[in-house]
Amino acid sequence: MGNGTRTASLLWTLIGLITASGSQLLVAQTRPAPMFRPGPAGVPPVDRLGQSWMEPAPHSAGAVSPNVPLDPTLPPPPPGWDPAVFWSDGQPDELLPPLTTHRNGFFQYLEASAAWLPQLGGELGITEVKTDLTVALPAPTPRFPLLISPVFHYYSLAGPTTIDAPPEVFETWLEAMWIPSIGERWRGFLSVAPGVYADFDAYGSDAFRMTGRAIVNYRWRPDELELFAGLLYLNRNDYLMLPAGGILWVPNRDTRLEIFFPKPKLARRYRWGQRFEDWVYVGGEFGGNTYWVRRRSGVEDLITLRDWRIYLGTERKWDGGSRLQLELGYIFSRVIEYRGDSKSYPFDDTLMLRLTWRL
C-alpha cells in the first residue's frame, strides 16, 4: 500500500470516528418521537400471521450520512473501504435511515419458496414449492386498504408403500384482506380466502374450502410495542379454528420479537448498510393442511397432514420489502390422518431446508 493510500485510509477512519461521536450527540438531542408512516393503501403489507406489521421510526433529521465527506478537499476513500462494515458498532442505528417495508403503488410483492424435508429412515419425505403474489387497492380508501393475494402451493410426497397417501397434493386460494383503522392505535385484519385443496385426481365438492381470519391490533407504543388478538378460521378436518395473537416488541432497531401463536419469530440484526440489513432469527410454525384425494381403492376421502416446525434462519432485507431467507429446521409430531377410517399414521421426526425469495 502506497503512502497516499495509507494516508487516505487513516483520514477516512478518523472522519468516521469523529462523525460517529458528533452525530450520536446531535441525534440524541434532536431525535423525534416515533411516528407511524402509512404505506400504500394506508399500512405496510400484511403477510401471514407473524409477518412484519410495523415500520421503524423515521430517520432523524439531524443525523449525518456516513457517506458525505465533511471536507470536499479530502481524497476519496481507499479501495475496499466499506461503510457498512465500518459502522457495524451500532452507529448506523442513528446514521442510516430505516428500510421501508413496502412499495408505493399497486404491486406489493411476489414471493417464491422451496423446502425439502428428507425421507429419513424410509419415513415420509416432502418437497414443497410455494408462490404468493400480493397487490394493494385503495378500496374503499387508502386508509382502509384491500390486499388481494393469489396463492399456489405444491407438495410432493415420498413415503413407505404401506401408507395410502397420494404422490402429490396442492392448495390454491385467493385471499382478500381488508385493513380498517380506527384512530392512530387500533387496526383490524379481516380476510376471506376461497380455495381448492386436493390432489390432481379428485375434484369433489369437499376439495373447495373457505378460510379466513379476524385479527385486532392495538398499537400500544407505535413502532415499539403492539398487541394482536383474534381467530384463524382454518376449516381443516383436524382444526376448524385456532386462536391467534401475541405481542410484537421492537426494543431497538437491532431486535425484533414477534411473540405470536401459531408463528413466533425472534430476530436479531447483525449487519447493515445503505439500503440493506442482515438478520438471524429463530422461529416456529404449525404445518400441514387437509386435502380431498383419491385413495388406492378409488374411494375419495379427506387426508390431513400435520406437523410442528422450529427453525433457525438468516435473512437479507432490502429497502422496499424485498428479502432472501435461508432456514434449517426440525420437524416433529408428524401425522397423516384419513377421515374415512379414522386412522392416524405417525412418522418419525425429520429436518427441513427452506429457501424463500421475495421480490
Using CB atoms within 10 A of its CB, is residue 280 exposed (0-12), middle (13-18) or buried (19+)? middle
Q: Is 234 helix (H, G, I), strand (E, B) or coil?
A: coil
Q: Is the pLDDT of residue 103 over 70?
A: yes
* Integer Cα distance of 272 and 10 in angstroms: 23
State which amino acid sits at residue 77: P
**Confidence (pTM):** 0.74
C-alpha distance from residue 192 to each of 91, 188, 212 (Å): 44, 13, 4
Q: Is the pLDDT of residue 324 over 50?
A: yes
Q: What is the pLDDT of residues 142-158, one digit of tens each?
A: 778 899 999 999 999 99
* Integer Cα distance of 124 and 213 in angstroms: 30
Mind listing the domains of the chain with CATH numbers? 3-95 (no CATH), 107-358 (2.40.128)
DSSP assignments along 33-91, one per residue:
PP-----GGGS----STTS----PPPPPTT---TTS-SSTTSPPPPTT--HHHHTTTST
* Integer Cα distance of 348 and 317 in angstroms: 34
How many other C-beta atoms can be found within 10 angstroms of the C-beta atom of residue 254? 16
Residue 293: strand pairing partners:
301
pLDDT > 70: what percent of the chain?
Answer: 74
C-alpha distance from residue 245 to each of 51, 108, 174, 262, 269 (Å): 12, 24, 23, 8, 24
Can you read off the three cell numbers belonging to residue 290?
387437509
Q: What is the pLDDT of residues 84-94, one digit of tens each?
A: 444 454 444 56
* Integer Cα distance of 82 and 118 in angstroms: 40
* Amino acid 223: pLDDT: 80
Given a contact cutoff of 8 angstroms between Cβ atoms, the answer to whether 109 and 134 are in contact is yes
